[in-house]
C-alpha cells in the first residue's frame, strides 16, 4: 500500500482489487497477490522521472470507471502532472450511484473531485512561490461531460445530479477560470491505468507516461535479487498447497 500511494501508482488498481477481499480471501486472491509481487520483482528499475525543463505548471487527468464494481458504484480517478510526471494520484469509489445509462455522469463526478483537488494544489503552489499563470487544464475524453461543465446542453438528463456537483462549472467559468477542460482521445487517457485492467501494450504505454527505467547497480543488488527469488518461490509453494484453504 505504501508504494501504491507514494511511488508506484502503476499497480494501484491491482492492489485495490485485492484489498476488497481482505476479510475473506481465497486461493484466487492469494494467487493474485503473488502476481503483484512478481510484477514488482520484475520492475524494480522503474521510477518516477521528473524534468526541470517541463516546468512547474500543473496539468490534471480525470477519468471514471462507470458502474464497474459489483454494487454498480463508479470509481473516480484523478492525477496531477508536474515537471513531466505524476506528483499526485487517487482512485476512490463514488458515494452515489450514477444512474445514467451512459458514463457522462460518473465522469462528471470525477471532474468535480479533480477540480477541487486542483484548487487546493493551486493555493499550495502559490504559497510556495510557484504561481500558476493560467487555468489548470483537465484532460477528459467524454464530450458530454465537457459540454455539461461548460453549460451547454443535456439539462434534461442531468437534472437529478446533486446541485453541489455544479461547483466545477463555477471553477471553469469566465472571466478568471481556475480550470479548463481539454478533450483527448479515450485511448490516450493515461489515467486508465488506475481504473481497469488493460492489455499489456496499452498498460506499458500509459506506464511510460510517468514511470521510466533507471540504471540499477546489479553488483549491489545480487543479495536482494536472491532474497526476492526465495520469497517468490515460497509464495508459489503456499499457493500450490492451498487446496484445503
| Residue 11 domain flag | yes
Residues 77, 162, single domain; the answer is yes
For residues 54 and 225, which has the higher predicted lDDT (pLDDT)? Answer: 54
CATH of the domain at 97: 3.30.420.10
Least confident segment among 57-66, 126-135, 170-179, 236-245: 236-245
Q: Residue 76 and residue 24: Cα distance in Å, rounded?
A: 25
Phi, psi dihedral angles at 119 (to 5 degrees): -60, -45
Residues 65, 40, single domain; the answer is no
| Residue 245 domain flag | no
- For residues 144 and 183, the answer to whether their CB atoms sit within 8 Å is no
Q: What is the mean pLDDT of residues 131-159?
A: 79
Q: Residue 116 and residue 114: Cα distance in Å, rounded?
A: 6
| Residue 120 domain flag | yes
**163-219 confidence digits (pLDDT tens):** 767 788 888 887 778 898 888 887 888 888 888 888 888 888 888 877 877 654 544
Nearest to 45, CA basis, from 225, 245, 185, 234: 225
Percent over 70 (pLDDT), the chain: 78
DSSP 19: H
Total domains in the chain come to 2
For residues 56 and 215, which has the higher predicted lDDT (pLDDT)? Answer: 56
- For position 70, what pLDDT does the model report? 65
| Residue 155 domain flag | yes
Cβ neighbors of 49 (< 8 A, separation 6 or more) are: 84, 85, 210, 211, 212, 214
Q: Residue 199 and residue 46: Cα distance in Å, rounded?
A: 19
Residue 6 domain boundaries = 2-44+215-240
Orientation angle between helical segments 143-150 and 104-127, nearest 10 degrees: 60
Residues 90, 133, single domain; the answer is yes
Residues 23, 138, single domain; the answer is no
| Residue 128 domain flag | yes
A 10 A CB-CB count for 31 gives 15
Amino acid at each position: 500500500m505504501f508504494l501504491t500511494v507514494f511511488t508506484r501508482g502503476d499497480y494501484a488498481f491491482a492492489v485495490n482489487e485485492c484489498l476488497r477481499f481482505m476479510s475473506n480471501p481465497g486461493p484466487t486472491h492469494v494467487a493474485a497477490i503473488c502476481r503483484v509481487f512478481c510484477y514488482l520483482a520484475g520492475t524494480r528499475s522503474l521510477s518516477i522521472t521528473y524534468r526541470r525543463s517541463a516546468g512547474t505548471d500543473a496539468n490534471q487527468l480525470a477519468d471514471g470507471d462507470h458502474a464497474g464494481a459489483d454494487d454498480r458504484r463508479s470509481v473516480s480517478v484523478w492525477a496531477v502532472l508536474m515537471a513531466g510526471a505524476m506528483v499526485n494520484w487517487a482512485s476512490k469509489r463514488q458515494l452515489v450511484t450514477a444512474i445514467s445509462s451512459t458514463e457522462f455522469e460518473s465522469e462528471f463526478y470525477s471532474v468535480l473531485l479533480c477540480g477541487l483537488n486542483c484548487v487546493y494544489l493551486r493555493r499550495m503552489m502559490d504559497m510556495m512561490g510557484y504561481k500558476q499563470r493560467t487555468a489548470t487544464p483537465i484532460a477528459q475524453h467524454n464530450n458530454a461531460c465537457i459540454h455539461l461543465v461548460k453549460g451547454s446542453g443535456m439539462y434534461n438528463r442531468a437534472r437529478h445530479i446533486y446541485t453541489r456537483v455544479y461547483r466545477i462549472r463555477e471553477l471553469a467559468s469566465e472571466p478568471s477560470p481556475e480550470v479548463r477542460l481539454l478533450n483527448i482521445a479515450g485511448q490516450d487517457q493515461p489515467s486508465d491505468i488506475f481504473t481497469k485492467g488493460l492489455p499489456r501494450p496499452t498498460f506499458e504505454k500509459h506506464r511510460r507516461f510517468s514511470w521510466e527505467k533507471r540504471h540499477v547497480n546489479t553488483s549491489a543488488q545480487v543479495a536482494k535479487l536472491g532474497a526476492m527469488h526465495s520469497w517468490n518461490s515460497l509464495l508459489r509453494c503456499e499457493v500450490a498447497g492451498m487446496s484445503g484453504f
